Structure 1
């Protein structure tokens, strides 16, 4: 009973204020519903490195900068795990066993295979980096 009385008195108070009447106007959305809006293609707005990456993904290369982790291969001295890079050196992390809670980090250099503490061998394969001054506009 008291809450009903309080509700009635507050609605009368709000109805009598001039600023409250302006906030009670309804919003019509019929024009927005009828018009078909289409978002622009992100490729049209992208420039530089972002556009280079989108074009590479469109061509089928999901990892143009070699950022994703990859599983170890055989890892022998004769057949090392190949690590791709856009430079002549790269830091590589090796999780030596499935139960390890830490990562063994090491630097790889081009044409110098390196052995991890666990016995696996890694070798760096350098690729030419994209020229930042010739990026797509």
Structure 2
């Protein structure tokens, strides 16, 4: 009986030691840089953010500008059309959606004017590898 107890005790102690040693050696390892690991559009976005452009695909909401017919609110896009949502009043709980097309300013139901400004999209064949 004492042999069984001593064998199980020695296995338990050696198990603790191996776990402790493996934890110390794992602490020396680091994760690779995400920019070196990324390719394509993901790398394009990470490089743009590193250069200071935190919204390279124009996905963040923007505030309305003057919104007159002479000075419409400019909406940026990478295509010749885009769906735009307007919160007409601050206390509204719904969004009024409309399609904007290049060269055709559009008026929302609340009276604000919007116009689309097209930017060149990244060429998929020249994206960083």
Give the TM-score of the pair, scaled to structure 1. Answer: 0.79
Q: CA 1:34/1:104 → structure 2, altered by over 3 Å: closer, same or farther?
A: closer
Q: 2:64 aligns with which of 49, 72, 80?
A: 72
Larger Rg: 1
Corresponding pairs, count:
122
Could you list the runs of 5+ residues in structure 2 that have no partner in the other structure? none
- Cα separation, 2, equivalents of 1:31 and 1:57: 35
Q: CA-to-partner distance for each residue in 1:67-90, whole Å, 9 max, x for gaps?
A: 000110110111100000000000
TM-score between the two structures when normalised by the length of structure 2: 0.83
Q: C-alpha distance in 2, partners of 1:34/1:56?
A: 33
Deviations 1:12-66, CA, capped at 9 Å, x for gaps:
xxx87x99x8677212137726963332111111000000001101111100000
Alignment of 1:12-91 (within 5 A): 25-26=15-16, 27-29=19-21, 32=24, 36-91=28-83
Equivalent residue, structure 1, for 2:105 = 113
Q: Unaligned regions of 5+ residues in structure 1, if any?
A: 1-14
Q: Distance in 2 between matches of 1:34 and 1:125?
A: 51
Give distance in 1, aligned partners of 2:126 and 2:81. Answer: 23
Q: Secondary structure at the match of 1:134?
A: coil
> Could you say if the C-alpha distance between residues 94 and 35 of structure 1 is closer, same or farther in structure 2, counting changes exceeding 3 Å?
closer
CA distance in structure 2 between the partners assigned to 1:62 and 1:56 by the alignment:
7
